[in-house]
Homo-oligomer: A and B are copies of this chain.
Amino acid sequence: MRADAQRNYDKIVAAAAEVFTERGMDAPLDEIATRAEVGPGTLYRHFATREDLIDAVVKSWMAQIDSAATEAVESDLPTREVLQKWFNTYVARISRNRGGPSKFATAMGKPDSPIYSKCEVLRLANDRVLTRLRDKGALRADVDALEVCRLVGGVAVVADQAELGPDDVSSMLGIVIEGLLRE
C-alpha cells in the first residue's frame, strides 16, 4: 500500500471511531470522510461497505474481550457471579457505540459478513468461558456458545434500542444465567 493511501486509511478509521462514538454506528459516512479530510470516493476505495469500516474500527476491541474471558475462566467465584460479570462486560463491550449490538447480532453466524471474523472472536471467547464452567459441572450440557452469543446479543440489542440502564441489563442477564445453570 502506498504511503499516502496508508495514511488516509488510518485517518478514516480514526475518524470513524470518533463519529461512531458520537453519533452511533449508523452515522453518515459523509461525516466520517469530511472529518478524515478525504473525499467520499477515497472512503469507498478503502471500505466497500459500512461493515468493512466497522470491522476495522472494532478490531481494537477484541483484545479486551479476550482478556475479560480469560479473567472469567480463571476466576474461582461462584458460577453465577462469574457469568454475571462476564456477560455484563460482554454486553458493555459490544454496546460501546449506539447501533453496534445490532451489527454484531446481524452478522453472528454469517460467514460471508465483513465482520464475521470479529463475531468468531466473540463466539470463541464465550466458548472458552462456557466450556470451563461446563467442565466444572456447573452448566447444562447442551449449551452452545453461538446460541448464547445470540441470546446475550439480543439483550444488548434491546438495551441499546430501548436505551435501558445497567440494572435492566443485569436483571435480563440474570434470567438467561438461571437458564444456563445445571439444575
Chain A residues with CB under 8 Å of chain B are 102, 105-110, 140, 143-144, 147-148, 150-151, 153-155, 157-158, 161-162, 164, 168, 171-172, 174-180, 183
Contact = CB atoms under 8 A, between A and B. Distances in A.
A107 B158 CA distance: 10
Given A150-B162, A161-B102, A178 B172 contact: no
Contacts of A147: 168, 171-172, 175
24 contacts: A102-B102, A102-B157, A102-B161, A105-B157, A105-B162, A106-B161, A143-B175, A147-B171, A147-B172, A150-B158, A150-B162, A150-B164, A150-B172, A151-B154, A151-B176, A154-B154, A154-B157, A154-B158, A157-B157, A174-B179, A175-B176, A175-B180, A179-B179, A179-B180
